[in-house]
Amino acid sequence: MKVADPTQSSFWTRSHYLDRMTFRDLVVAYFQHYTIMVYLACTVASLVVFAFFPIGVVPTLECVVFAYLAWHAVWYAVHRWIMHGDLMYKIPFFASTWKRIHYDHHQDPNHLEVLFGALVHTLPTLAIATWGVGYAIGGIGGAAAAFATGLIVTCYNEFIHCIQHLAFKPSNPMIARLKARHLLHHFHAEGGNFGIANNHWDWVFGTLYERPGERPKSKTVFNLGYTPKVAEQYPWVAELSGGAHEGHPRQSKRAN
């Protein structure tokens, strides 16, 4: 009788690390992840709504362009001032959210399960960023077009983000540059290169850097400043994380 191999269980019952995966592995994992399935389903639903409430070519293009620009502006602002801020972990109600949306990712940047944003955070943010102006431009159809654009940009951003942590060298020069900048954000100094699939706002706000020598090495790239000393005063994230860590937890476990 053949004994079942526990490693062959349901795909998302196991942990996945991008530094151990091939590009093909990533593609399979990407389209199996529930967040991507929901984004694509919402995109189709938005296009159906648009078909029932169509608007002209020019207002549609205005909605698409606005949603694209708004998405990157909102992402930069949220990433820089909220995810990398020190407010959320100081408030018990928001501590678990901060841990989920960014602390866990910086703790272990190649851990695929915590790379994707949680729907409870991403979908409302997308709606706020796109629905209002989309509706102002073209009513229900405009809101649907803007929302669909935001969803598509989100899917693209998530895929590029995965590639940036994959053991894979992009042949496309633009994607290769984006990857190099993002790895500097994770492994050299987290106070710059906040964009994922677009560094326009990094350039605007002066947070773009291309080489390690442009910024001093940060001691907090893995814990975002949530050190054991900080955890003494604000313990809620540490309580959920098995303590506060100075370095890369997975590397520390391997060393032990």
**pLDDT digits 0-9 by tens, 86-118:** 999 999 999 999 999 999 999 999 999 889 988
CB atoms within 10 A of CB 176: 14
pLDDT level of residue 15 (50, 70, 90 thresholds): confident
Using DSSP, state whether 9 is helix, strand or coil.
coil
- Per-residue pLDDT, averaged over 172-201, amounts to 96
- Tell me, what's the pLDDT at 157? 96
For the chain, domain boundaries: 6-255
| Whether the predicted pLDDT of 8 surpasses 60 | no
Cα gap 182→21, rounded to integer Å: 18
